[in-house]
Structure 1
Amino acid sequence: MSLSNSSARYGSLAKLFHWLTALGIFIMIPLGITANNAPSGNEAELAWKVQLFSAHKTLGIAVLVLAVIRIAWMLTQPKPAPLHPERKLETLAAETVHILLYGSLILVPISGWIEHAATTGFAPILWPLGQSLPFVPQSPALAETMAGAHIVLERVLVISLFLHIAGALKHAFVDRDQTLARMLPGQADIPETEVTKHANLPIVLALVAWVAAFGVAVNLGVFDHGPAQSAELEQVDTDWQVQTGELGLTIQQFGKPVTGAFETWTAAITYDETLPDGKIGTVEVTVSIGSVSIGSVTSQALGADYFDNAQFPTATFTADILRTEGAHRADGTLNLRGASLPLSFPFDLKLDGDSATMTASFALNRQDFGIGANMQDEGQLANTVDVNVALTATR
């Protein structure tokens, strides 16, 4: 059998690429569905869920590479002529579905890969490279957008695959022709005809189908990622108004750092640098727990086993500001997830007239607040959570 296509049949390389791709798809899609639905309530379940997602992502990249090779080979080959050229509408539909399949085999893995690269944590790709991508920033917003695109494109892939299989079965059992046979091993008994060209209209129709799919997805709210879970905080009376600030956290998941931040929080600050050493001010910080963004584990972090945002939508830190020989310390109480525990940490403070810059770093033990209490294996999720605070405020 020839490696190359002819006007009547596909060559052995085209057949090999076709069936390897089909095998990858029929493994990858169920694997992704299983991983997405797998529970993660304890260490064993989470470890299994991570393995499933890692396998899904790794296989997805393998299918992407195979699809690129397959399309490159296809573009160099003659296109076997349709067995029923008089059925123009049917031929057009078949070619459009083929384009949707080829495009989806590229777009579905790429969208998932960009989502993976734009966020941190949870289920690494098992290839030596690929955890990050050039020109793809660490961006929760980008990751959420690509997650939505991945869902839409995966649906297009599934529908196209269904139509492709239905067409093949129609040719085999209704038309009883050799359309399916010429993609099977062996030589289909089909006479050579004039070579056909790759048409442009199916490409246009496929583009229209993708645009329509995204239009439907937008109307259904697939790309809506508003702060629906985030508690709204009231404005506070404060002597010092925070102008810019960051309340970040870093956890260690499966031995790798995962960084995040709380987007919504308020700070009521009193501070008088003219007072003698001792208590020279107070601070009360209120944090909207639902505003946390921590890579691909954000939804998990907000669940009942962790922050339990539904029951405990805010956290508060109330403290005295102490100064001893020029060194500053916040000494107070952190109320988080229903637990109130003392918290004291030093911080750096720089004053420039009526402007102040403050930075601090400290560590918390998540187990002290019942966060992830069923996750005892620190190899999976470390107990220590590093917190970083930076803000500028004006008097």
Structure 2
Amino acid sequence: MPRANTADTYGSISKAFHWITALLILTLFPLGVIAENLPYDTNEQLARKAWLFSLHKTLGVTVFFLALTRLLWTATQIRPAPLHPARKAETFLAEMVHVLLYLSLVFVPLSGWLHHAATEGFAPIWWPFGQSLPFVPKSEALAHLFSGWHWVLTKLLLLAFALHIAGALKHVVIDKDDTLRRMAIGKAPRQPAPPRPAHSRAPALAGISAYAAALLAASVMAWPTAAPQAAQAPEAPQAAPMALPANGWQVETGTLALTVTQFGKPVSGQFGAWTAEIEFDETVDDGIAGRVEVEVMIDSLTLGGVTDQAKGPDFFDAATHPRALYSADILALGDGQFDAVGTLTLRGTEAPLDLPFTLRIEDGTARMEATATTDRRDFGIGQNMPDEQNLAFGVEIKVDLVARKP
């Protein structure tokens, strides 16, 4: 069997590309559906769901590179002429479906990879390329957009794949010709192909136009969800002003962020709505310099691709416990070092939490930065996740405030 294509049949390399790709498609579709519908209520269920999603994503990236290689090979090869050139409508549709398939084999896995790169958290890709892509920031709005692309384009791929199979069966059952035999392993055509008709770009243009329309439709479908989230992106948190009644300080900007570690990878997020009252005496260098009371709205949390899971009953349980409270005394330690020593009430459970922080005041502007780590188990968070390989016990808290004195 020749490696390259001839005027009558496909070569061994084209056949290998064809059947490997078909096998991967037939594997990826059910794998994605199964992974999507698996529960993740327990540690074992989450591990199984994540493993299947990792397999799905890893094979998807494989399809992407396989498709690019196949396109490069196809560009160097002649294509056997259609056996029924007089059937112009059928030939047009067959070539258009081929174009849709080729485009789908590139853009379906690419859209999934983009979605993964824009999302923090959950099933990693096993290829050694890292979990990010150049020029793709971690953004929930972008993640929704790419997810919309992936959803629509997979349906287009499924349609083109089904039409391709239906056409092949027609050639076998109804036409009884050599069309499928040309792509069969170890088979040679029983008759030479007719002369190739004049080449037309119309099927390719029709396929590209259909694909562009599908991408536009996917973008429009995703936009109503992505747009509001873009307005509430982490770069513009909606924290309420914080009053410092002791001496008139007013907090202008603030970020209350947290980082969890899932499957060994950090997942960062923040609370977009919270209020605080702070009493603080900047003249105290040693001892109690004030007090802080913070109220956090749990439902304002965004945490990468696991936001809904994090706010669910097994974790923060936003529906039952919509607020968290932090009360602490502010201790001055000298040299701009302070410690907020208090308690955090979360999910109805109270536990001690110390928050060391630095405070620098220059030209009427104060900058406060704090980092602390707490154990999620102290608040009954993720009790169904006792394995740190799936979800680490430690949760890092970061606070960054800028205040000015009028």
TM-score, with length taken from structure 1: 0.90
Does residue 341 (structure 1) correspond to residue 351 (structure 2)? The answer is yes
The reply to whether residue 319 of structure 1 matches residue 324 of structure 2 is no
The question of 1:212 aligning with 2:221 is answered: no
State the 1:235 CA deviation. Answer: 5.0
Q: Would the aligned equivalents of 2:145 and 2:219 in 1 still touch at CA under 8 Å?
A: no
- Contact preservation (8 Å) 1:145, 1:223: no
In structure 1, distance between residues paired with 2:7 and 2:308: 53
Alignment-derived partner of residue 75 in structure 1: 75
Structure 1 residue 44 displacement after superposition: 1.1
Percent identical among aligned pairs is 49
Distance apart, 1:330 and its partner CA: 1.7
Alpha-carbon distance in 2 for matches of 1:130, 1:198: 43
Contact 1:270 1:282 in 2 (8 A): yes
Question: 1:6, 1:192 within 8 Å by CA — same for their partners in 2?
Answer: no
SS in 2 for 1:297: helix
Superposition deviation, residue 199 in structure 1: 4.0
Match in the other structure for 1:382? 392
Alpha-carbon distance between aligned partners in 2 of 1:102 and 1:219, rounded to the nearest angstrom:
24
Q: Do the aligned partners of 2:85 and 2:197 also contact (CA within 8 Å) in 1?
A: no
Aligned equivalent of 1:144 = 144
Query: For 2:241 and 2:272, how far apart are their aligned partners in 1?
Result: 17
| Displacement of 1:215 | 4.1
**Which residue, 295, 303, 306 being the options, matches 1:294?**
303
* Partner Cα distance (2:372, 2:64) in 1: 43
Confirm or deny that 1:192 pairs with 2:193: yes
Instruction: State the secondary structure of the residue aligned to 1:373.
Output: coil
Deviation at 1:121, TM superposition (A): 2.9
**Other-structure match for 2:48:** 48
CA 1:45–1:81: 2 relative to 1, 3 Å: same
Match of 1:238 among 235, 243, 258: 243
Aligned residues: 393
Q: Offset of 1:357 from its aligned partner?
A: 0.2
Q: 1:78·1:196 contact (CA, 8 Å) conserved in 2?
A: no
Q: 2:291 & 2:190 partners in 1: Cα distance?
A: 88
SS in structure 2 of the partner of residue 345 of structure 1: strand
RMSD over equivalenced CA pairs, Å: 2.7
Give, in whole Å, the separation in 1 of the partners of 2:74 and 2:271: 49
Secondary structure (helix, strand or coil) at the match of 2:305 reads coil
1:305 to 2:306 alignment: no
Contact 1:79-1:195 within 8 A present in 2 as well: no
What secondary structure is seen at the aligned counterpart in 2 of 1:393? strand
* Deviation of 1:161 (Å): 0.9
Counterparts in 2 of 1:352-391, with a 5 A limit?
A: 352-391=362-401
Structure 2 CA distance for partners of 1:234 and 1:345, relative to 1, 3 Å: closer
Per the TM alignment, residue 198 of structure 1 is displaced from its structure 2 partner at its CA by: 6.1
Per-residue CA deviations over 1:175-203 (Å, capped at 9, x if unaligned) read 33322222223012232333457643223
> 144-153 or 158-167: which moved more?
144-153
In structure 2, what is the Cα distance between the partners aligned to 1:221 and 1:182? 41
Residue 129 in structure 1 maps to residue 129 in structure 2:
yes
Deviates more, 1:36-45 or 1:297-306: 297-306
Q: Distance in 1 between matches of 2:63 and 2:239?
A: 50
- SS of aligned partner of 1:224: helix
> How far is 1:237 from its partner?
6.5
Q: What secondary structure sits across from 2:358 in the alignment?
A: strand
1:27 maps to which residue?
27
1:148, 1:223 within 8 Å by CA — same for their partners in 2?
A: no
SS in 1 for 2:41: coil
Contact 1:7 1:193 in 2 (8 A): no
Q: Compared with structure 1, are the counterparts of its residues 388 and 182 closer, same or farther at alpha carbon in structure 2 (3 Å cutoff)? A: same
State the AA in 1 paired with 2:7. Answer: S
Partner in structure 1 of residue 256 of structure 2? 247
In the alignment, is residue 179 of structure 1 matched against residue 179 of structure 2?
A: yes
Deviates more, 1:359-368 or 1:328-337: 328-337
Q: TM-score, normalised by structure 2?
A: 0.87
Q: Which runs of 5+ in 2 are unaligned?
A: none
Q: Which amino acid aligns with 1:247?
A: L
Contact 1:111 1:147 (8 Å CA) reproduced: yes
Structure 1: gaps spanning 5 or more residues: none
Question: What letter corresponds to residue 289 of structure 1 in structure 2?
Answer: I
Structure 2 residue aligned with 1:165: 165
CA contact (8 A) 2:256 2:397 kept: yes
Q: Would you say the 8 A contact 2:39–2:45 is kept in 1?
A: yes
